[in-house]
Structure 1
Amino acid sequence: MDACTLGDLVEVVGSPSLRLRTAPAGAAVPVTEVLLYDAHVPLPYAPGALLLAVGVPTAEAEPLVRAAAQAGMAGVVVRGEGGPVGAAEAGGVALLTVDDEAAWHHVHLMLASAIDGRSTHGVGLGDLFALADAIAAATGGATAVEDPRGRILAYSTVPGQPVDEDRRQGILGLQVPGSLDNAEQVRLVFAADRPVRLPPLTAGVLPRLATAVRAGGEALGSVWVVDDGTLAPDAEQTLAQGASTAALLLLRTRAAQELARHQNTDLLRRLLDGSADASTAAHRLGLDAVRVAAFVLDSAASVPDAERTSLRLLDVVRLQCEARYGRHACVLLDGVVYALLPASGEADAGRAAQERAGGGRHRRLAEDIVRRAGRSLRVPVRAALGAVVADLGGVADSRADADLVLRLVHDALPVATVDEVRPRVTLLRLSEVMRERREFKEGAWRRVLAADAEHGSDYARTLVAWFDAGCDVASAAKALSVHPNTCRYRLKQAGRQLGIDLEDPDERLVLWLQLRTLAGIGGAGSGPGDTPG
């Protein structure tokens, strides 16, 4: 699935609605989303975004263009002629213009629909706008297409047709204003097998002619026409025909979206196991720097149908990720749900900066998913975040991080990033390497364990406590709840009987690592999940 480019967008929308003034980076620049400028909110770092200069006069747009360039955006759209072409070229961002009278919410929806339509192989909600215009022209009334939940998918823009406040507010929020009366009208529309005429709900609101959009027995949405009393005589027949066309378009869109989701899922599987081509994947997904998030049901919990519950967890993760990032790749592998979290601009930052920016943002998302999923599934959920990688070629490494972190999370720490538990992750990796190599498994640690098993001594725990205490006998004795002399005696006996030179820092280090990683003896302050192996 090819990402929408600047050239695609201009071609789909077409002149004179959208005019490209300059594109210093070329027409092949990917465009992933459309953002509305808000003077009260700092610009986000958003590569691929197209920024609409809401409330900024064209003559004063130069600072905004420079800021958009610093935020890595693809371009800026201003209203009217001209614009700061020089600033755009200097910053390497595209500059586009729309007509002076263009409503920003309409421009936003038009561009967003074009991006979505291009991203599903030309089958998108942009076709619904053409249908809404056709129905409006034929019936004589302003038309809107809604989904079953009252979200406005498309609306007509035929000039001169009467509208009311309900339509204006619905289009502004892309959601039909909710009320009990409106809900009752919606029920009547979906209960009928033909278009129905509906009276005004309140003073100042116009009547409606509406019909359900169905495919077989499934309701896909509805089409609503504002009725000011001058609709065409055959308006009902026209609306019924339009609903049939809308059903085809919605089914095609759904099929394209499902295909895209399937392709993304398959691509993510191959990225996670390191078999996908990174450059091809980046082009298809529109992503560069990312981190892998992993979610899993608590293994200690009793889950009657773990497979089905894991699929429900996948749904929760996908829903929350798509709500924040739009089209998104999530996959369930071996009981673990993996998701790619965009992290553009953070891969080259220092660790502290990552944690303040993407690390904190991604962690909050993971915490929210864990909380929601745990509540809806009635099973504790754990989450782990791998390291940020600069491109999709590093996804397998970030996944490896996340898998290790999953082994360390517990009741008191249900969500963690790899940087938060880096020392324990390092010990886990060391334990895996040491278990695979014969030479790493030899040494004094075996004699320590054998002596404890044969004589009932407590050399291993005493040595680890002493190492953890920085070789301070008093601190080690306190951690072991024994007298310092007892601790001192055990250490002396271990050195004398087992041939361990506790004065040698190299021998101390190797022995500590082997006891911690191979014997699995945790430190005195270890919590659940801290022991490697």
Structure 2
Amino acid sequence: MTTSPGARLDTVVSRFAGTLLEVLAGTVDPAAVISDVVIDDPREQAPGRPGALLLCTTAGADDVPELLVRAVGCGAPALVVRAPLDMGPELRTRVERSGVAVLGLTAGATWAQLVVLLRTLLSSGPAGEELSTGIPAEDSFALANAIGALLGVPITIEDRDSQILAFSDRQSDTDRTRVETILGRGVPAHARRAQERAGVFKRLYASEKPLFIDTPQIEGEPGLPRVAMAIRAGDQVLGSIWAAVSEPLSEDKERVLVDAAKVVALHLLRRRIGVDVDRQVRADLVATALGGGPSAQGAVERLRLAGRTVAVAVMGLSPPDTEEGSADGAAGAGGPSYARERTADAFAFHLSVAAPGAVAALVGDVCCALIPGPDRKAPEDIAVLARRVADDFLERARSRPEGVSIGVGRAVSASDPAGLARSHRDADRALRVLRHRAPSRRQEGGAALFADVQVEALLLDTGDRLRDEGGLLDSPVARLRHHDRDHGTTLTDTVAHWLDHLGNTLNAASAMGVHPNTFRYRLRRAAEVARLDLADADARFAAMLELRLERP
């Protein structure tokens, strides 16, 4: 569920018509405002709120009468069911009399897509701000509609990564790529790659004028050409405007698009200021909550997590080797800090959909998140749920940066400062395990629950303590390594392979690529040099532990 400043119902319907929604029955009240999104599940018996849009994910035609009663009872102006839905004249009349519009989620669209786009629309920002043009600052979609109306074509406003910031109406006047772009909240990967190969972004970011792009020829698919215009603030490229056209724009419309890009730049800069302030406040609250000090409880309350069971997740954001930029190397916003902020924002947005109530913020060079779970679930289940959400993010990320991994701590009460700090330490230790794994093991997954890697974390801690104390003063493994360095032998590897294969000489010899008799001789020699009794279980364990502590 989400609460927001709201959007008019007719605006929601017109914006998503042809892409996500269609009116199945009833009349859309132009005065109705949608301020909430509620997934209606009779088993949950979640209370609706006035202004709610009810998403009835499992409803059929027989369920509509009961849904109308619930909608009227809670003041919901509309409900959404899966289309197509066979509704007879009698049921349509009943819908009309109720005053509730019945909308249909179009075939091919998913409920998740609808929820994401609705939340983006409803949580655009505080009401009341205005640009110098008179367009509400919180409504990027109104800005997109205004530009589209002036040009007479549908447009999208995109950031530097081809992610959708806003789009105009008139979905029926465009092609499949635009529909996929809107549903996926970003240009499809195949289209983006084709544009990069054709050098579209390099030319776009170098041009002060609109650029005509023969999209069907570039992508090798039927569709409409595009006219694109870079959005700049000084020398910095903030994004671009894309118009679906049948032919190049006239000179007058090109001037309109150039002027529109300046207005959009102002809008994005003003929004960025608000986002930066909000990001800093959230980061301070998250850091305070996880610090476990006397102010932690107040921070938890301001984050609206008091009394809830949460698991802390920590996402490591290793900076790239080179500064972040577009695929074409275009100049503009970039660098490791930008890459970290972008990935952290993407994780926060994912959590807002997958785990309502979760908060995430960039604290130092890691992104820390507090992920709540359903009140009825056990803490262990909530921790597993948090890890599943983290896994899902890493799997869904279109361009997952190198080195991104997520550690998840135990689930605790958010109102317990000591417990919250402990979960944070758990998550940090799980993240460290992932970062220290050998490259061959990093493919096992980018998220780890502390409970699943606790022994590996303990080994890392033990290794730290040994290094702090100057290492082992003397040991069988140390004697083997000293002998190998002086004589060019491989006795340490011989013992390591024998232990790894649980004393199976044939398998260990095969792994080392030597004859079994040669391996047996080396093993006997290793035992003599190291003064290691391989028949002693404690001695074997000590050697295995020391060898393991020295491995990544």
TM-score of the pair, normalised by structure 1: 0.53
Q: 1:120·1:257 contact (CA, 8 Å) conserved in 2?
A: no
Q: Report matched runs for 1:206-221 at 5 Å.
A: 206-221=224-239
Match of 1:136 in 2: 148
Q: Does the aligned pair in 2 maintain the 1:4–1:119 contact within 8 Å?
A: no
- 1:151 corresponds to: 163
Counterpart-to-counterpart distance in 2, 1:210 and 1:119:
29
Residue-by-residue CA offset, 1:15-36 (whole Å, 9 max, x unaligned) = 67579x9xxxxx9x995x787x
Do 2:407 and 2:448's aligned partners in 1 also have CA atoms closer than 8 Å?
A: yes
State the 1:176 CA deviation: 2.5
Distance in 2 (alpha carbons) for counterparts of 1:16 and 1:133: 11
Q: Which amino acid aligns with 1:332?
A: V
Partners in 2 of 1:187 and 1:107 — Cα distance? 33
- 1:314, 1:332 within 8 Å by CA — same for their partners in 2? no
Matched, 1:398 2:396: no
Aligned partners of 2:288 and 2:368: how far apart in 1? 12
**Pairing of 1:359-374 with structure 2 (within 5 A):** 359-364=383-388
Q: State the one-letter code of the partner of 1:261.
A: R
User: Is the 8 Å Cα contact of residues 409 and 426 (structure 2) preserved in structure 1?
Assistant: no
Cα distance in 1 between the residues matched to 2:250 and 2:337 = 53
- Summarize the Cα distance change of 1:205–1:143 in structure 2 as closer, same or farther, 3 Å threshold: same
Q: Are 1:342 and 2:372 counterparts?
A: yes
Out of 292, 311, 315, the position equivalent to 1:291 is 311
Distance 1:84 1:153 in 2: 35
- Cα distance in 2 for partners of 1:369, 1:170 equals 19
Letter in 1 for 2:310: V
1:310 Cα shift? 12
Match of residue 181 from structure 2: 170
- 1:17–1:325 distance in 2 versus 1, CA, 3 Å: closer
In the alignment of these two chains, the number of paired residues is 387
CA contact (8 A) 2:158 2:166 kept: yes
Contact 1:296-1:382 within 8 A present in 2 as well? yes
Matched, 1:52 2:88: no
Decide which of 253, 259, 270 is 2:271's aligned counterpart: 253
Identity within the alignment, %: 24
Alignment of 1:317-396 (within 5 A): 319-320=346-347, 322-325=349-352, 328-332=359-363, 338-343=368-373, 345-346=374-375, 348-350=376-378, 354-355=379-380, 357-364=381-388, 376-377=402-403, 383=407, 385-389=409-413, 392-396=414-418
Select which of 100, 115, 124 maps to 1:117. 124
Distance 1:404 1:368 in 2: 20
CA distance in 2, matches of 1:81, 1:281: 47
Q: Is the 8 A contact 1:292 1:338 kept in 2?
A: yes
Deviation at 1:375, TM superposition (A): 9.5
Give 1:145 deviation, angstroms.
1.4
Q: Secondary structure at the match of 1:329?
A: strand
Deviations 1:340-361 (A, max 9, x none): 1232x15x434xxx43x32223
Q: After TM superposition, give the deviation of residue 197 of structure 1 in Å.
A: 2.7
**Counterpart position of 2:512:** none
How far apart are 1:257 and its partner, in Å?
1.8
| 1:307-326 map, 5 Å | 319-320=346-347, 322-325=349-352
Q: Could you say what secondary structure the match of 1:141 adopts?
A: coil
1:117 match: secondary structure: coil
Residue deviations 1:219-245, cap 9 Å, x none? 111112232359666211111111111
Which residue of 116, 121, 127 corresponds with 2:139? Answer: 127
Distance 1:197 1:313 in 2: 33
* C-alpha separation in 2, matches of 1:313 and 1:46: 38
Secondary structure of the residue that 1:205 maps to in structure 2?
coil
Aligned to 1:78: 80
Gaps of 5+ in 2: 14-22, 27-31, 82-91, 131-135, 318-334, 442-446, 462-535
Quote the offset at 1:254 in angstroms: 2.0
CA deviation after TM superposition for structure 1 residue 82, in Å: 6.7
Deviation at 1:292, TM superposition (A): 2.0
Alpha-carbon distance between aligned partners in 1 of 2:245 and 2:103, rounded to the nearest angstrom? 29
Aligned ranges for residues 220-239 of structure 1 at < 5 Å? 220-229=238-247, 234-239=252-257
Shift of 1:248: 1.1
- For 1:84 and 1:479, locate their aligned partners in 2 and report how far apart those are by CA, in whole Å: 81
Out of 163, 172, 182, which is 2:195 matched to? 182
2:302 paired residue number: 281
Q: In the alignment, is residue 240 of structure 1 matched against residue 258 of structure 2?
A: yes
C-alpha distance 141-232 of structure 1, shift in aligned 2 (>3 A) = farther
Task: Tell me, yes or no, if structure 1 residue 195 matches structure 2 residue 214.
Answer: no
Map of 2:489 onto structure 1? none
User: Residues of 2 paired with 1:75 and 1:420: CA distance?
Assistant: 49
The amino acid that maps onto 1:277 is G
Q: In structure 1, the residue corresponding to 2:224 is in which secondary structure?
A: coil
* Aligned position for 2:289: 271
With over 3 angstroms needed to count, the CA separation of the structure-2 counterparts of 1:205 and 1:77, relative to structure 1, is same
Q: By how many angstroms is 1:264 displaced?
A: 0.6
The C-alpha deviation readout for 1:101-150, integer Å capped at 9, x for no partner, is 99978965763233331379969986221122112211222222122222
The answer (yes or no) to whether the contact 1:132–1:144 under 8 Å persists in 2 is yes
Largest Rg, 1 or 2: 1
8 A contact 1:140–1:231 mirrored in 2? no
- Normalised to the residue count of structure 2, the TM-score between the two structures is 0.52
After superposition, the Cα gap between the structure-2 partners of 1:174 and 1:287, relative to the gap in structure 1 and judged at 3 Å, is farther
Asked whether the 8 Å contact 1:296–1:337 carries over to 2, the reply is: yes
For the aligned residue pairs, the C-alpha RMSD in angstroms reads 6.1
Secondary structure of residue in 2 paired with 1:291: strand
Instruction: Please say if residues 316 and 369 of structure 1, whose CA atoms lie closer than 8 Å, have aligned partners that are also in contact.
Output: no
Assess if the C-alpha contact under 8 Å between 1:317 and 1:369 holds in 2.
Answer: no
Q: Give the conservation status (yes or no) of the 8 Å contact 1:200–1:206.
A: yes
Distance change >3 Å, CA 193–CA 158, structure 1 → 2: same
Q: 1:385 to 1:274 in 2, by over 3 A?
A: farther
Task: Give the distance between the partners of 1:479 and 1:60, measured in 2 at CA.
Answer: 68
Change (3 A) 1:144 1:406: closer
Given residue 241 of structure 1, which amino acid in structure 2 is its aligned partner?
D
Checking the alignment, whether the CA contact within 8 Å between 2:360 and 2:367 is kept in structure 1 is no
Unpaired segments of 5 or more residues in structure 1?
A: 22-26, 69-73, 87-94, 298-307, 429-477, 482-521
Out of 50-59 and 259-268, give the one that drifted further: 50-59
Task: From the superposition, tell whether residues 225 and 259 of structure 1 become closer, same or farther in structure 2 (CA, over 3 Å).
Answer: same
Contact 1:116-1:125 within 8 A present in 2 as well: no
1:61 Cα deviation from its structure 2 partner:
4.7
